[in-house]
Amino acid sequence: MEKQIRTTLILRNDTSANWAVSTLVLKKGEVGFDTDLHIFKVGDGTKTWSQITTSFVDFAAGIIGALGWAAYLLMVRALGSSAFVAILIATALVCILSRFAAVSHKCPSTVFVLCGIFPLVPGAGVFWFTYYLISSQFHLSAMTGFTAMKAALAIALGIVFAMELPQRMFSGGRKRH
C-alpha cells in the first residue's frame, strides 16, 4: 500500500529592506528569496545576504540558447542550408559562446551548453521514428530515424569542433593558476 505524505516547502524569504540589514549567514546550499525583487540567492556558509552576489548564469544560458536557435532558423529558412549543416554550425556557435560565458561566470561550460543545445535536439524525430516503427510503417520509420540520427551526429560534431579549440582563446590568453 502506498502512503502519501503532504508537505510544504518554504524557502527562507524576506523583504529587500530586511535582507539589507540582516546579519544571517545562509548555509551552504541554502536558498533565500527576496519577496520584493523576486530574486533567489544561494548561500555558501560564509556570507550574509548582502555579501552574496547575484548570478546571471541562467540569463546567459537562455541568451546562448536563443542565439543558437536563431542561427539554426536563419540558416535553414533564410539561407536554405540543410538541417545537418545548420545544426552543426548552431551547435558550434552554442559551444563557443558557452566557453566564453563559462570563463566570465567562473563555472563549467556544460551549464550553458546543455541549455543552448536543448532546442536543437531532434526529440520529435526520435518520437516519430518510434511511432512509425511500432505502427509497422517501416519506410517512414527509416526516413525519420535517419534524419534524427543525422541531427544527433551534427550536434556531436559541433561539440567536438568547438570544444577542441584551445582554452586560451576564451580566457584572453591568461594561464590558469
Reported as a pLDDT band with limits 50, 70 and 90, residue 108 is confident
Place of cell 548561500: 43
DSSP string, the chain: -----------EEE-HHHHHH--PBPPTT-EEEETTTTEEEE--SS-BGGGSPPP-HHHHHHHHHHHHHHHHHIIIIIS---HHHHHHHHHHHHHHHHHHHHHHHTS-THHHHHHHHGGGS-HHHHHHHHHHHHTT-HHHHHHHHHHHHHHHHHHHHHHHHHHTS-GGGTTTTPPP-
pLDDT digits (tens, 9 = 90+) for 4-32: 777 777 888 999 999 999 999 988 878 88
pLDDT digits (tens, 9 = 90+) for 49-103: 888 876 666 778 888 999 999 999 999 999 999 999 999 999 999 999 999 888 8
Q: pTM of the entire structure?
A: 0.66
